[in-house]
């Protein structure tokens, strides 16, 4: 699943009718989920958050920017927050299955469309910036809307997209790509804001002002305070007192959790608190968090306990919640706080059913779920067994030399298991798309052409899905061989079952590839796919036999 977050800020926070007109454009876009609408009266600004697949997010952002340009007139806008246009800023944020480069591409494509179709000058910022001085949003905003006419006359401030012509109603828009912003608070057993801030100064990237022996701030030749950097990059932090909880907190913004993840900052905050005679009682997440940030934390704390980090997603998240004390001041519900869980890729997912219901559904007189979904489920079971044997090896006497290998294998097997579970629904969804294409009207020549195009595209996708299952099945068989060779010998029969189930996944998917190929008119595509599928099938069979040979050597 490919998910992108978009967080546009609109220069209207008081007129709910206008705000709703904008958000309606977002909600009406297929494949989009609106997560939050946060209007501010004093700032006269609304922050909107939504997620979806990349192209859908780009389309929703454009529609919202267009509507904002129609209902907001910047000539009459006043508010406490700095701003440059009706849609002040619109960042794309990679969530899952996409890279920062993908989001930069989206930013450029949206900027071009906004400039050409709406005649709004566009600047690019953060990761999408084309000039170093434009990375910082505050720099682009200098002079705000009122200073924009003169700014556009300056050659150095020509927009990245569009003509340097002032749009009096819409102003300009800043579009970009950035990492996910995590708002996070660490709770202390004190009400003293100053103590919380003292810890914050040591944690945050900016650090604190350097002082001499008398405690006076040391300044450079221009009179600017010389700063002593803190311990973590991409971290902003302050200390404050929260009346609702009657405690002091270290309030933190993580601008790139991949550089400085919350769990490392949390553990360091514990050390800093102890120096001041304080205790960290837990933490609080404000808003949403990417799933990977919690998975990283779960693996980290399991490693500290000397356990295998190759556990199921749900277990890793549970470990992270307990270790970070995320239930300290309010209940933490992963289904509400993890951003990926806000977007359901499939209606009534098969993998959410219990075993009996799934098997019953397969047995009914409907074509889906069918062999492709069963093949994918076989892959999930195979990799689950591979993870199990790996985890049963970690920490066991006599297997000290393979601990690192087994931990890595367990984690890789869990990742593959997650893919196969998704593929159970993906295979069914792709076949349903083929059926929908065949049901399209064909009364006119134009309809016939559109129908045939839809059938071809859907059939290609229905072929690619089982081919991908084959590729992942091959990866699984490579892992299973490692497990059979190095894993706990008391569980070697489970490695054998894993090898058998993995080849079932590969060969089951192989026949699903073959059955779709005749419906594809592109001969080159058919030949290429058939050749690749055959190669994977043969190599997979060899790997399975290699694993079974190892098993038989120990059991027979």
Q: What CATH number is attached to the domain comprising 261?
A: 3.30.70.670
Task: Indicate the SS3 state at residue 193.
Answer: helix
pLDDT at position 221, please? 86
Q: What is the CATH number of the domain that holds 443?
A: 1.20.120.680
How many domains does the chain divide into? 3
**What are the angstrom distances between the C-alpha of 290 and each of 198, 543, 555?**
28, 36, 45
**Annotated catalytic residue, options 81, 102, 267, 415:** 81
**Annotated catalytic residue, options 88, 160, 425, 427:** 427
d(CA 238, CA 252): 7
pLDDT at position 344, please? 84
516 alpha carbon, distance to own chain's centre: 32
Same domain, 298 and 376: no
d(CA 116, CA 383): 50
pLDDT at position 183, please? 92
d(CA 487, CA 480): 9
d(CA 372, CA 143): 59
Residue that is last in its domain, among 291, 315, 342: 342
Same domain, 369 and 337: no
Residue that is last in its domain, among 342, 361, 391: 342
pLDDT at position 186, please? 97
Residues 6 or more apart whose CB falls under 8 angstroms from that of 363 comprise none
Same domain, 332 and 405: no
Same domain, 192 and 310: yes
Contact between residue 513 and residue 467 where contact means Cβ atoms under 8 Å apart: yes
d(CA 477, CA 475): 5
d(CA 383, CA 422): 13
Same domain, 470 and 338: no
pLDDT at position 516, please? 95
pLDDT at position 1, please? 81
Same domain, 445 and 545: yes
- DSSP letters for 210-232: -B-TTSPBPB-TTSPBPEE--S-
Residue that is last in its domain, among 177, 194, 209: 177
d(CA 377, CA 380): 5
Cβ neighbour number for residue 392 with a 10 Å cutoff: 18
- DSSP letters for 420-480: HHHHHHHHHHHHHHHHHHHTS--SSHHHHHHHHHHHHHHHHHHHHHHHHHHHHHHHHHHHH
Same domain, 308 and 361: no
Give the domain extent around 231: 182-342
Same domain, 446 and 492: yes
Same domain, 128 and 244: no
In this prediction, the residues of the chain whose per-residue pLDDT falls under 50 are none
d(CA 516, CA 370): 14
pTM, entire model: 0.87
pLDDT at position 260, please? 97
Q: Is 81 a catalytic residue?
A: yes
Q: Is 108 a catalytic residue?
A: no
Name residue, tokens 């699903």: 512
Is 88 exposed, middle or buried, given 0-12, 13-18 or 19+ CB atoms closer than 10 A? buried
pLDDT at position 155, please? 93
Q: State pLDDT tens for residues 301-320.
A: 999 999 999 999 999 999 99
For the four alpha carbons of 111, 114, 115 and 116, in that order, the dihedral sign comes to positive
pLDDT at position 223, please? 87
Same domain, 298 and 446: no
pLDDT at position 322, please? 98
Same domain, 275 and 424: no
Q: What is the CATH number of the domain that holds 27?
A: 3.30.990.10
Name residue, tokens 């992942």: 472
Same domain, 219 and 142: no
**Cα torsion at 342, 347, 350, 353 (round to 10°)?**
70
Q: What is the DSSP letter of 179?
A: P
Cis peptide before 24 (omega within 30 of 0): no
């Amino acid at each position: 699943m490919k998910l992108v977050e978009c967080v546009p800020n609109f220069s209207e926070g008081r007129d709910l009718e206008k705000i709703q007109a904008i958000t309606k454009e977002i909600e009406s876009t297929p494949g989009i989920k609106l997560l939050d609408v946060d209007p501010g009266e004093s700032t006269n600004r609304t922050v909107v958050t939504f997620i979806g697949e990349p192209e859908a997010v780009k389309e929703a952002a454009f529609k919202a920017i267009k509507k904002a340009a129609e209902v907001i007139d910047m000539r009459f806008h006043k508010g406490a927050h700095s701003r440059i246009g009706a849609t002040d800023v619109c960042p794309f944020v990679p969530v899952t299955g996409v890279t920062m480069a993908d989001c930069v591409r989206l930013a450029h494509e949206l900027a071009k469309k906004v400039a050409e179709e709406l005649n709004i000058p566009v600047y690019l910022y953060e990761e999408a910036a084309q000039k170093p001085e434009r990375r910082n949003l505050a720099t682009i905003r200098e002079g705000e809307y009122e200073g924009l006419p003169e700014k556009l006359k300056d050659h150095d401030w020509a927009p990245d997209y569009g003509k340097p012509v002032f749009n009096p109603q819409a102003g300009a828009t800043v579009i970009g790509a950035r990492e996910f912003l995590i708002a996070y608070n660490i709770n202390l057993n004190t009400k003293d804001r100053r103590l919380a801030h003292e810890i914050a100064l040591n944690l945050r990237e900016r650090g604190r002002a350097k002082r001499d022996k008398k405690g006076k701030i040391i300044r450079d030749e221009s009179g600017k305070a010389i700063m002593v950097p803190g311990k973590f990059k991409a971290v902003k932090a302050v200390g404050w007192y929260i009346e609702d909880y009657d405690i002091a907190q270290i309030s933190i913004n993580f601008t790139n959790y991949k550089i400085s993840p919350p769990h490392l900052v949390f553990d360091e905050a514990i050390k800093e608190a102890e120096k001041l005679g304080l205790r960290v009682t837990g933490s609080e997440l404000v808003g949403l968090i990417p799933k990977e940030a919690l998975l990283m934390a779960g693996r980290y704390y399991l490693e500290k306990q000397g356990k295998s980090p190759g556990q199921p997603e749900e277990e890793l998240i549970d470990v992270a919640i307990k270790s970070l004390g995320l239930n300290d001041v309010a209940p933490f519900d992963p289904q509400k706080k993890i951003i990926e869980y806000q977007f359901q890729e499939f209606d009534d997912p098969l993998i959410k059913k219990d075993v009996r219901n799934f098997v019953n559904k397969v047995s009914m007189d409907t074509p889906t779920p069918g062999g492709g979904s069963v093949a994918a489920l076989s892959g999930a079971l195979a990799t689950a067994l591979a993870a199990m044997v790996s985890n049963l090896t970690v920490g066991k006497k006599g297997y000290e030399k393979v601990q690192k290998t087994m931990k890595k294998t367990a984690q890789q097997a869990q990742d593959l298991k997650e893919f196969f579970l998704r593929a159970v629904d993906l295979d069914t969804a792709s076949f349903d798309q083929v059926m929908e294409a065949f049901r399209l009207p064909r009364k006119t020549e134009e309809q016939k052409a559109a129908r045939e195009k839809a059938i071809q595209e859907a059939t290609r996708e229905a072929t690619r899905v089982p081919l991908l299952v084959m590729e992942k099945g091959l990866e699984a068989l490579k892992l299973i061989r490692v497990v059979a060779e190095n894993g706990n010998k008391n569980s070697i029969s489970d490695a054998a079952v894993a090898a058998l189930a993995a080849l079932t996944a590969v060969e089951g998917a192989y026949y699903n590839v073959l059955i779709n190929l005749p419906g594809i008119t592109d001969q080159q595509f058919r030949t290429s796919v058939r050749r690749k599928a055959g190669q994977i099938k043969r190599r997979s069979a060899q790997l399975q036999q290699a694993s079974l040979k190892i098993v038989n050597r120990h059991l027979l």
